[in-house]
Amino acid sequence: MTENRKTPKLRFKGFTDAWEQRKVGELLIERNEQSPMSIEYPLMAFIANEGVAPKGERYDRSSLVTDTENKLYKRTEFGDFIYSSNNLETGSIGLNKYGKACISPVYSIFQPTGIADSDFLGRRLARKDFINAMVKWRQGVIYGQWTIHESDFLKIEISVPSVKEQRKIGAYLDKLDNLITLHQRKLDRLKNIKKSMLDKMFPKDGEVVPEIRFKGFTDAWEQRKLGGLAEKIYGGGTPTTSSEAYWNGDIPWIQSSDIVEEKLFGVEARKHITQEGLNHSAAQLVPMNSIAIVTRVGVGKLAFMTYSYATSQDFLSLSQINVEPFFAIYACYKKLQSDLNAVQGTSIKGITKDELLSKAIMVPQYAEQQHIGIVFRSLDNLITLHQRKLDKLKNIKKSMLDNMFV
């Protein structure tokens, strides 16, 4: 029989005591204060996995309330817990990180007792093992609409350390969250800069010059067909999956799911085929420095391939590029994104070879192509760098959450 672990794998220096089992009802006490909404206590919404947040149009029902001055709502303060007995699977517990607010009286509001820290407890109650513990108290027969009465919620037991250690854990994870938020904002800002520059450094439909240009370039861009950017076009195919001799070879075989939207470089092939598989299928070996474009499932995704590869039948590849290669990938990306945005809301199952290759692409002189290619490649390198930092921070947080709790 395995003994239940009473201490976490990772702890801050100076903390050695075993964690104690406590009922949620020992850690939280109900706050049942009611008042009309006011400037000090504005009416807010409780949103699954977000907690207290401003009411959006989706949640705003104020137009249905006839006596707004006298209608009573429940008051909540920063650090309170909002509990809904419904929607167990979609998030029935939320932490108020907004501050003074009023919310619907259908929710229960709790404040931490003297032996609980709200930051620590908010993370502890969001853990999968706690949700699983809640499930055994569920009522109802429809999945996703299970309910747990407040009294049963308060009976659930969890392991907690001293309030001093709780605060240390909560503060550390808060700092980590702030770092993640900071890097996410930087990443989003870079992506927005890239989007704006794509709009302004390529001519709009019907125009022959872009809104923004590098100094010294004044000539009109010329129109070419997308297929005219390459000397050779390759298709793809799938070797018979039942033949082991065709798979797990040395030739990278790209499928649509390998291409990530907006990520134009750094494709990693998850499958490889053999030379025999290549010879006995419609797959073709495409030279390095080609552009792979998805034409079926995931239409519009594309990537610049820095190694030789083969693809499924969901691709066309442009090879032996006759314009500056980095300019070519961004010009194709801009064109495909513009066309997809123009038909947004409709279902696009694919694009034919003729439709793709006949798309109009505006092309400047080679020196200007080089400048444009360098700018966007540099931007993408920065975006990749910040994405890696963000992913690393998220992995650190996941590891901390796995190892700092019992």
Stretch(es) of the chain classified as CATH 1.10.287.1120: 162-201+364-406
- State the CB neighbour count (10 A cutoff) for residue 143: 9
Distance (Å, whole) CA 356 – CA 235: 13
Tokens encoding 273: 């085929």
Our separate counts of H helices and E strands in the chain read 9, 20
Task: Give the CA diameter of the chain.
Answer: 80
With a pLDDT cut of 70, the percent of the chain lying above it is 89
Q: Would you tell me the crossing angle of helices 325-342 and 366-403 to the nearest 10 degrees?
A: 70
Question: Counting Cβ atoms within 10 Å, is residue 95 exposed (0-12), middle (13-18) or buried (19+)?
Answer: buried
- Closest to 144 (Cα-Cα) out of 216, 90, 66: 90
Dihedral-angle region of residue 105 (phi above 0 means left; psi in -120 to 50 means alpha; beta otherwise): alpha
The answer to whether the beta carbons of residues 273 and 313 sit under 8 Å apart is: no
List the chain pLDDT tens, one digit each, 406 residues.
334 568 999 999 999 999 999 999 999 999 999 999 999 999 999 886 678 888 764 455 554 444 556 789 999 999 999 988 776 554 578 899 999 999 999 899 999 999 999 999 999 988 888 877 877 776 655 545 567 788 888 999 999 999 999 999 999 999 999 999 999 999 999 999 999 999 999 999 899 999 999 999 999 999 999 999 999 999 999 999 999 999 999 999 999 999 999 899 999 999 999 999 999 999 999 999 999 999 988 888 999 999 999 999 999 999 999 999 999 999 999 999 988 877 665 566 789 999 999 999 999 999 999 999 999 999 999 999 999 999 999 999 999 999 999 8
In the chain, residues under CATH classification 3.90.220.20 are 20-160, 222-362
Cα–Cα distance for residue pair 172/397, rounded to 1 Å: 10
Asked if 302 contacts 333 with a C-beta cutoff of 8 angstroms, the reply is yes
Neighbours of 324 (CB within 10 A): 21
Look at the chain and count its residues.
Answer: 406
3-state class (DSSP) for residue 383 = helix
Half-sphere exposure of 145 (CA within 13 A, CB side): 3
In this structure, the number of other CB atoms found within 10 A of the CB of residue 357 comes to: 18
The secondary structure of 190-242 as a DSSP string is HHHHHHHHHHHHSPPTT-SS-SS--TT--SPPEEEEGGGGEEEEE------TT
The CATH T-level fold of domain 20-160 is: Adenine-n6-DNA-methyltransferase TaqI; Chain A, domain 2 (3.90.220)
CATH class of 162-201+364-406: mainly alpha
Phi/psi at 95 (5° precision): -105, 135
Give helix 163-201 / helix 118-125 axis angle, nearest 10°: 70
DSSP 182: H
Fold category of 222-362 in CATH: Adenine-n6-DNA-methyltransferase TaqI; Chain A, domain 2 (3.90.220)
d(CA 156, CA 75): 25
